[in-house]
Structure 1
Amino acid sequence: MKVLILEHHLPTAELLETVIMGLAPDIGVHMSRSIEDAIRVWHRHLPSLVISEWSLPDGSALALVRHIRARDKTTPIIMLSARTDKETVLTAARYGISGFIAKPFDVALLHQRLQPLLRTDTAPDRPAPPPLDRYLAETAERAIQLPTDIEQQAVLALMERRQELSPAELARHWRGLAALSARLLDIANSASLGRAGKPICKLEEAIAAMGVEMALNQAFALSLDISRSLADPRLGERARYHLQQAEQVAAIARGMALSLGLEGVAFYTAGLLSRVGELGVLRALQDFIRQGGSISEPQIDDSLSRWAAGYGNRLKIQWRLPLHLRELIGAVHQLKSSSADRGPLLMYLAAMTVAGQQQQDEALRLMRRVGLDADRWQRPKALPPTDDC
């Protein structure tokens, strides 16, 4: 299923995308910021649902509605608007708009309104998925999703305190959540790079860039995405292992950086995101099962072995992560022979330490090269994240 979003305010468009992507495993979202582009996208992709803001910088979205309705009388069109007066609602009805949602919208209400339009996983005529390798290749070409288990009640409790929460405090609450951290960095960088060209590497900076309110809305939208949880216990077990590995690399890398007088936040973030390729593959495998596919244990491990690196590279590009952060993440898995920067060296050493390889000659040589105390890191105790990292 394909969905077209016409919304000029990028954070709102990204929030809509988060809600929509959580409603079915095979949705493709196309976003436009102008009426002209939306018409072009509609002709190219013929989406099954259109969601549009009412007023745009280049005119009223009714122009898009008229264009579609002249050619298609049935595709649902949902209009978002801060105008909720009777005349606006009646105008929407006259033009053949299927639904009207007032802005600013409530995320839970939006989820509820869109759910019957987008749930396709239980349709009786749903085709069987393609062969597994082809499915994974096709999924890699779309927006890759990660599994996540953000608790709705925890987010709602934070939303009740939204007026008193600072970006730093919110970042502390969410420091260990890889999927949420990646999503917020993605949104913040899409806005920051377009506005000032300055990349954002830290969760706190990402929250500050979009605002506490929008960050909380994004977290709540992710918490509503039950399709992101891994129902298959085999996949869940592997996800827990890779998350644990990522958290250990993050803590060790941060501790090493702080011991050298370096700021630890970027190292922690890179470690936390170092297994996103594996998590992306596991989410794709769960979606494959939901669509009627079957997978054996050897196929799961083979898919992880062959596809994790590619998924990881795609995600780093998809999320618009800064080049420096991408290099830190990549060094966890492979150190470039030409690398002289201490950052990638520390990430590689952290990965070796978590793997129990810190006593190998290569690890000892690299520790001396970057200035680490080799004796200390034979039995490392990673420092817990604090405000000064």
Structure 2
Amino acid sequence: MMVFTALLLTSGQAVAWFGQSTPVREVDPCAGKLNALSGTTEAAFRIRGYGEGENFQQAKVEALRDIAERIQVRVTGRSVSSTHMAGEDASASFLSTATLETTLRIDSAVQVCSHHSVKGDRWHAVFEFDSRSAVQRLTATLNETFHGQPVVLDGNPYLLESQLVNELRAGLTGKGEEDAMTVWVALKRLHGGWYLSAGEHQVRLAPQDILQAIHFTGSQTLLLSLIKKTGASASVDQLLEGDAFALRVDSTQSGYLSLFNLYADGRVSVLSANGLVTANKAEVVPQEELTFEAALAETGKATRDLYLAVLSDEPLPPSTLHQLRLGQGLVEGEDSYQLPILLGLLKQVNPRVASTMVTTLPKMGTVR
């Protein structure tokens, strides 16, 4: 990807092929913005597009379309160069990647310039798409801010041990703890999305990144497993939509047991709270003839859920549990995105925890 991008940027023929130089000449305020990054190292991942329309929204759509076409050119070009080594499969996989970036990630592009031309009553716009991941962008910002000075990340332990924060820590150029700056890392819910913040800087996470932003180290005294209510007692990690199931907890210690369902989009549901458990006696929730039913977050699409068992010496605070919306199934609304509250509760109580990840698949004929 990096090599091919450099070739595109240095080849006049390639730039002329997918550039839109003719319309841009009409936009003096934005003309220099479109190709301002050409020849720089940042041009490899910061992709700009130009759009024109009868109103700003139309110009924006055309600019995003231009960015999508440039991404397609870059990824398709790489697939062609890889065909000699990996055959047709490599080409198909890279073309698929282009589609993924175009349809799922292009909405994060930011406005660089806009201009309303009185002559012709036309709007012109330049937008920029950063192809780096959110963590890569945040890492680059911290490195620019601290100029190689060592940085120590601090925050909630369940966040600090996560995959995303480990990637952030590994990308920092300043190493060691001598004269290190302490930077607080947090997970926040803002403007209808999740943000990973480090000090004064923050980036918006993709929906699929949320469960990678938390990590629960298992306890040797606590085991959580999911079992189907079909007579089989074996633990499973995959369900079919509509399956009846229960959660089994095995503990070598007594205490107060609470169970949570963490959805892949950051919502939290309390399945049970502050139930007394006895050491070395298995607990099944729900009990008797009651069951949980596997459901999809979005019709026709597989859903990933994380189930969390929390064993504490004292009951969890009722006020906090109320904030987490005690319920027995799917929860809706912005108030249900309470992952930071749950992480704060766990840090305060410091309980034994156990977790299991489960994938729920759509029924046959409903897959989209």
Global fold match (TM > 0.5): no
Question: Greater helix share, 1 or 2?
Answer: 1
Question: Greater strand share, 1 or 2?
Answer: 2
TM-score, normalised to structure 1, is 0.25
TM-score, normalised to structure 2, is 0.26
Larger radius of gyration: 2
